[in-house]
Amino acid sequence: MQTSSSQRLPLQQRVRHPTRDELNSIPWMAHLTPDERRMAEAAVHVGDAQPGDYLCRIGKPVTYWFGLIEGLMKMSNDDSQNPAVTFTGVAPGGWFGEGTALKREPYRYNIQTLRKSVVAGLPVDTFHALLDHSIGFNRFIMNQLNERLGQFIAAREIDRMNNPNIRVARTLATLFNPVLYPGVGEILRITQQELAYLVGLSRQRVNEALNDLAKQGAIQVEYGGLRVLNLAALRSSDVLSRVQQSSRFPQ
């Protein structure tokens, strides 16, 4: 018998020690010295999240720096009094919330799983200990913050675009970012409905946009996911212009 979301244990009560493969998939571990890595490995815990689980909630104090080992999540606003807005998706290999952890401030966003996921957490005190002593960790965080700035500038640009095809293309380009989401590779395991949640469009409209992008040779739609054929083309204004024209003048 399945357990409903209201009956199952909170995610923080379903944590466990990571496997060796899970530890090896954490991108910043490779930047640590052997002693630093031993400290980090002893502190990291993982949890097996179910669809709809919240990893972070607005107003809650920061206790961990989080990452996604497997699955898919979304970052969104509080929709109790305002329309729901998804800020970005979180794909495998992505670690997030470093700004909140740096300032030790309450969360200003929700992080929720869209499917079964394996999530990881580094205690915020260990996060700061590595910042205080590890050059490699500092370089990783600096690069992460730089990429994150570019991500949210692009998200701001997407919000001002009226063409759905371009919105889908830019959202996919973000999810295929090899720095922020190194666990994705060439194939992103995502359904059209999940992508629709992230883009803020209907599943039918997302399907049309994916077909247009496939015709341009930027992606290939496969069972259970998407293969990127040309990431530069997904980001290219020339390709996106052709996608926009194809949506206006169907053959």
Domain ranges of the chain: 11-153, 162-248
Q: Would you say residue 166 has pLDDT above 90? A: no
pLDDT value at residue 249: 42
CATH code given to domain 11-153: 2.60.120.10
Q: Which DSSP letter does residue 224 get?
A: T
CATH code given to domain 162-248: 1.10.10.10
CA 41 remoteness from chain centre: 22
pLDDT value at residue 8: 65
pLDDT tens, residue by residue, 135-158: 999 999 999 999 988 877 776 666
Indicate the pTM of the whole model. Answer: 0.82
Q: Would you say residue 215 has pLDDT above 50? A: yes
In whole angstroms, how large is the CA radius of gyration of the chain? Answer: 19
Cβ 151 vs Cβ 93: under 8 Å: no
pLDDT value at residue 161: 65
Mean pLDDT of 149-171: 77
pLDDT tens, residue by residue, 15-36: 899 999 999 999 999 999 999 9
pLDDT value at residue 111: 94
Give the separation between CA 120 and CA 106, rounded to whole angstroms: 19
Cβ 74 vs Cβ 114: under 8 Å: yes
